[in-house]
Every structure is written in structure tokens, then in C-alpha cells.
Structure 1
Amino acid sequence: MHYILLQDSSWATFIGRFHPAIVHFPIGFLLIGALLELGRRWGKIAVSEGTIVFILFWSAISATFACVAGYLLSLTGGYDADLLNNHMWKGIGVAVFAWAAWFVKSDRFERAIPSIKVIYLPAILIATLLTLTAGHDGGALTHGEGYLTQYTPEPFRGLAGLPPMEEKPTEIKPIADVQQAVVYSDIVQPILQAKCTQCHSASKSKGDLRMDQLALLAKGGENGPAFVVGKGAESDMIKRCLLPENDDEHMPPKGKPQLTTDQIALLSWWIDQGASADKKVSQMTVSEAVKPALASLGKEAPAGTGAAQASAVLSVKVPKANEQAIENLRKTGLIVNTLSQDQNLLEISAVNLPDFTDKQMELLQPVAQQITWLKLGGTKITDAALQQIAKFPNLSKLHIEHTGITDKGIAAIKPLPYLEYINIVDTKVGDEGLKNVAGMKALRSIYVWQSAVTDSAVSQVGRQNPNLLVVNGFNEAAVAQFLKAGDTTGKEEVKKQ
């Protein structure tokens, strides 16, 4: 019972997560102590016995705290049991032998038991060796087995008896004939290997989830199934990818290589089509929305796939934004990306700044000409912000979902010549606002579900504007279109300035 309470305690998790930081103290203290002792015995340096005793004392104290924090961290689960057990006992050994070395070195004990000093050198030596081996196991637990030796170069690799280096895939390799590709093995599995299996494999299964085998992926982890066959939008592995990157539940974790929008679209499509292990692309229904993602896998598009229409704004030439202006934006917490190495157009996102307000819109004015993708969803902006946004002449994609904007505000952006994507999900924009912007020449898609827009207005606007996609629900086609046209922060081809 006490174990269960401890395991479920947020305090245990809080303290446990300090283990990677605390563990550096005994490592440093023990290595310094061992080197000083070695230098003193060789006559290379002059150091007092008291100094070494002091270092050994704090190495023992910090090793003990590291053991406690490490144990609490282990309760969160998701680690290889055998490797964790080895790491734990080696860590305990470090603490025990560090205390033994300090005990022997202390004058009071050495005077009381003179013969005990013979165990001093073995104790400090064993503690140091255990520190190094425990550190190796810790690296394997955190980053996967073989993490520290993965890139060992030749000839040392052969001398150490390591197998030839295997190149870890970082992207989907081009497929000669996409139509004949087996969807799971040729498309899905390479995505998972590149972005997911570092934390979800045999050597490390965070959340008790393994994604290196289809059967284990289907089984799921401690939070239940990773996917729901036939329902990509309801599958946990898709929903987590769509969360803001700073969300604790977002996967892959912040700082890790993120899935591209095309990759998420392909995973969602595979799940929607039944998550088959052996079906080829030609045997599955390929929607118009997922065709561009499939086309990106090879040099040529699959049969019947047309080239995706390029955004007109990408032909616009603008001067490079002022570096100080960009730095000022980043200091506020805004994410600023440039679209490519040879483009000066910018993407600005407030995904990490939910308290962003109308007043802070003034910060964007120095880069008004360069802004083409603007993400202010979930912030505190109102209609007043739309008056400022209307002054961004090259804006092509606008996220203002989950904000307080209304019909009056949305009308202000109607003159924007390149605006092709608008997300007004969960806003007060209604039928009048939709009809006001529906006639915009460049507009291709607008997402309106959970807003004040009615189904009848969606139908009417759809009939009057056949080239405009108005999404008032979150079905299969909407998911793929949303992934393709919407959120792009973290996309591999986006180059940070």
C-alpha cells in the first residue's frame, strides 16, 4: 500500500526527475577525489588528507541522494527491467563504497581501527569504476541501449567486438514505385523508426509502449491502445502529435525531431484504412487530401495524382527582416521561423504565449511585410488585433482559433490578397463573417467547427464557392487537409533563422 501511494505521488515524480541533475555530483566528486589521491601518492601534487576526506564525504552524500531520486524516478515506469536493475545496484554500490572510503579515510576511524585502512584504496577504486559503468547504463536507460557506443568509429568498433554501424533512418527514403509500396513496412515503419522508437522500443519503452513492432504498437501501453483502427483522428498517437509542442502530452517530446505534417497525415491515413500489415498503396483508398503526402515519397506522384498547387505568396520577393526586430519577438516568447534558406517570408507562432494580447500586436509591425504564416490560436486577442493583421500584405495562413474574435473583426482581413487558409474554430464568428471572407480570391480553406457558423451557411457558401473548402467537422478528409494546410511549426523543411 505504501508503495502504491509513493508510486502515484506527484512529489515522488517531482523529486525523481532531479536524478539526472543530482547524479552529476557524485560523479564529479569521486573522479576528483580519485585523481587527487593518485596525484598525492605519485608526489605530483600536495593536497591535505582533510581535503580528500571532505570530497569523499560529499561524494557519499550526493550518491545517496542520487539513489533516492533515481528510485523515485524508476517508479514512473517505461524502463527495461534488467537494465534498470543493473543501474540501480551499481548506483547503490557507488554510495556504499563512497561511504566506506570516507569512513576509512576519516582520522577518528583510522585511529580506532588501524588495520581498516587497507580497504581504502579498493573502496575508492570500486566506487569510481561503478560510477562509470552506472553512467553507461543510465545513458542506455535514457536514450536506448547502445546509445553511448552507437557511433563508435572504426577500427575501435571492431576491436571492441561491436557489430558494424547501422545507419538510423531520419527520414523516409524515396520509393521507386509508391503504388506498389507496402504501407506499413515501406511507409509507416520508417516514420516510427525515425521519430518514435528511440523512446518506445525493446531497450526503452516509455509508458510501457513499444512502437518497433506492429503487434506491440496495436497492444498499446499504460494509457491504452496507441491507435483505434479506422479512426485516425481518435487515435492517441495522432492526437498527441497534434498537441502544442510545449504540452507535456505532446509526442515526440519537445526538443526531439518532430513528425512533419505529411508524416502525420500518412500515419492517420494508414489507421483510417484499417492499419493493415501487408496492404499496398494500390490496394487502399487514396483520398485527394493524402495524395500530396504520398507523392512526396517518390520522384513521381502516384497514378492520378495532380501536382499540388503552389502558394502564390511564395513568388513574392521581400527584403530580409530586421534581426533586432526578430530578436525582440523571440524575447517575448513568440516562435519565429523562416520558411526556407532563400525565402525571407516568416512564420510567427504564439503557441507558447497564451497571454498574447492586442497590445502586443504592435511588436509585429516591424516585420509586417515578411509575415506569411501567423498563429495566434488560443491567445487573448480580440477584433482589434484583426485591424493590425489586415496590414500584413503577404499573409497566407492565419490561425485565430479559440479566441474572442467576431464577425466584425474577421471582415477587416477581407482585402488581404494572398490569404488562403483561415482557422476560426471555437470563435464567435458566424454566418455573416463566413460569407464576408468566402469570396476572397486566394482563400482555399477555412475551418469553422465549434464557431457560430451554421450548417446552412456552410452549404450555401460551398455551393457559391466550389473551390473553397469549408470544414465544419473533424472527419477523415478534414484531418488530412488540416494537417496538410494548417500547423507547420516543427516541419523538417522549415529552417530556423
Structure 2
Amino acid sequence: MTDILKKRWVDYTVLGLSVFLVFCLVFDAYIVLPNLVAWLGRWHPLVLHFPIVLLLIAAFLGLTGRPIPHRLLVIAVLSALLTAISGFFLGKEAAVKGDLLFWHQWMGGAVALMASVWYLLSDRGLDRTVYVKGLQVVLLVLVGFTGHYGGMVTHGEEFLALPTSKKQKELPENPIVYTDVVARILDDKCVSCHNANKKKGELLMTNMAELLEGGKSGHTIVAGEPLKSELIGRLHLPLENEEHMPPEGKTPLTDAEIKILERWVALGASDTLRFDQLPKSEPLVALIKGLMEPDPMSKWADLPFVADSTLQNLGSDYLTIERVASNSNALSVDVYLPPEYDPAAIVAIERIAGHIVELDLSGLPIGGTEMDFVAKCQNLEWLEIDKTPIGDSELKKLASLKNLKFLKTYATSITDKSIPVFENMKGLKNLYVYQTGISKEALEKLQTKSPTLSVNYGVDPEIEAFFVAGDSVVVAK
């Protein structure tokens, strides 16, 4: 009599939990849990491994033709049902359920319900039939997929993927700062905890609108105010602080990545700002260039050594010479307009012409002499000669610069005669020619012959106005 009562108790418990689980899954959208019941869901990660092991043992015994202890199957079924129900409770904490969490819950529920059917068939003496063995095989597959989706919910979609050699995707020549730089950093370091499947802190970070909406801790980003932005503040907290992001166990952002996010927020957190719209003096330019060329040292490793003392002797108040990277022999030169301009100051640095990869002569009254010097800078990649009196004859001298990628010639006297020079610069990626004598028809032909060349006809007035008004960046010298 006692055994019968025990058996009925188990049967009723399995039936009751199964019905309750189905109710939870079907009417998920209409259920609101009391705080104490919701708290029980947090036990899900602690207990979920127990039924998995028991079900695997029971399935292994069944498929190999060995007897399955009745008590083992009872405990496995009851623990599977309780685990699935606690998982449902835990899932209610997510404001929005993504596809991963949705499928994880339904497959977990299917595992528990199939285990209940197994118990029912076994209780009827059908445990050695082909139907039960098929059920055991399906159960094993479901356990694997449920665990796989659970791992992706917790650790990100690629956590259980086969290890591969991750190659950093190259940035485009003229990246959109948010889409191509900021979003990549967030996807790599933040989105695994702030997505539709795992909305930690009620914060989503998968797109711009979600960033602006923020989470329960406040404004994730405040345009133009990095110090008031929750994202920046948490990144700067000490690693041992429990509020630091990413949390312990996750890969932290590099110093360069943090600075990129900080400067992006300081510049207004725009989702349309492009790299070529940033003034050269803006620190974000160097940071993004560092991502585009992660190892500039190897690129210019063959350049001859140039001593710091040489650079100091050649420089002056109106001519600055800097290394483009620490200990690199590649140089960046900026020349400013002195009270009395003399081209001799530029010609004097001819001895380091082969080391110069960036040169800014914008706004200077340069002519043929200075352009002869520029032509000797054979490693030059970035050249600014905008707002100068040069014309077609002077520009023609640049035809030998095969490494040139970035050229500003706007507000000069060049005309359609300079188009062949641009066409022969095969490495040129960005060209600025607004406020020149070049016709629209000539530019269209240039664009057709050089489809990879980005020809800039003008500057967005809103972008220009922003940088003019800013206290840390300017458009012109």
C-alpha cells in the first residue's frame, strides 16, 4: 500500500509539473511573477547540470540494453522539470527575449516533457520498445542543442563555435566612425552582455538608438559629455571595482579602444561622422589610423635611422617634426605661416625628405620651390596643400608620388589640366578639390576611371560648424 501511494505521489508530481511547464511556455507573455518566485529562477544555473547528467546516464543505459534503476529515472525526470521551470522564471527577467533565449527555453522544456513521456512509457512496461529507444536518441540530441543555445545566451553567439584564426576585418579607406569603428568595439567587448538575449542592466548596445536610450543606471552616452556618460565612467573604474565594465572574466577594452569611445562621445556621438571629416589635429584621427594600420613600425621598418637631435635642430616654432609612432623613423611635418614667410625653411629639411609620410603646407604662399621639395618626399602618404596659390604646373610635380593616399588641394587654382595627375596616382584614396577650377564633368570622368577614389566636392556645413565651434578642434590652422 505504501509503495502504491509513493508511486501515485510521483505520478501526480510529474503530471502536475509537466502541466505547469506547458502553461508557463504557452502563456509566457501574460505571466507576471512575484519577486520571491522570480528569485527562485536564479537557482537555474546552479541546478541545471544535475538533470543533464542523470538523463545522459539513463539514456546510455537504455540504449545499451542495460536496466535503468527506477529511482534514477524518477529523480532525472523531476529534476529536469524543476530545472526547466526555474529556467522559465529566470528568463522572465529579460525585458525582451531574443531568438537564442526563446529557443533555449523551448528546447529545455521539450527535454523535460520528453523525459516525462519516457517515465510514463517506462511505468507502463514499454521501456525496452523501439519507441522509447528513439525517444532516448532524440532526447540526447535535444540536450546537446539546449546546452549549445544556453551557452550562447550566457557567453555570446560565438562562444561554442569551433576555434578559428580570427583575422581583424580591415577598415574601409574612409570609415564612418560609429559604424566601422565604435560599433566594432562594442560588438567585440560589450554586446555579449547587452543584447536581446541577455539584457544586463536593462541595457541594449546593438545599435545607436539603444545606446541613446540607456539602461537602468542612467544615460549610457551623453553626446558631447564623456564625463556624464555612464559607458565612459564605468570603463575608467578600477578593475577590482564591481561596477567596472566589462566585468571580471571578460576581455577588457584596450587603452586605445577606451580613448576612441571617449573622443567619439566628446565629438557629439554622431552616427554619420566620417574619418575624412575630422581635422588632422583631432586625436581620434591618430587612434583610427592605428586601427587601420595596427603596426606602422613594420611598414616603415626599412627607413634609415634619424636621430632626435636632428629633428630638434631642423624644427622651429613654425615647423614641427614628429614621429608618427614611438621609435619610428617615419615623420609627420606641419609648417605654419610665420610673420615673414621664407621657402628656405621648408627646403632646409630636404635631408629628411625620404622619412616624411605626412606633410601639411596648407594656407602657405608656396610655389614651385616648395613643390620641388614635396616631389622628393617619395614615401609621402598624406599631403595638405589646400588654400595655397598653386596651379596646374606646380601640381604636375607631384606625379612621381606613388605612395600618396590622401591629398587636399581645395581652394587652389588647379583646373581640369590636373586631372591626368590624379589619374596616375594609383594609390590615391581620398581627394579634396572643392573651390577649385576643376569642372564637374572632369570630376565625373575621374571618378569613372578611378572607382576606388573618394572625391570630395565639399564639406558638410553642419560638420564644419561643429568643429569650428568646438573647444578642442578646428577646421583650419
What TM-score does the superposition give when structure 2 sets the normalisation length?
0.48
Instruction: Name which structure has the greater RCO, CA cutoff 8 Å, separation 6+.
Output: 1
What TM-score does the superposition give when structure 1 sets the normalisation length?
0.46
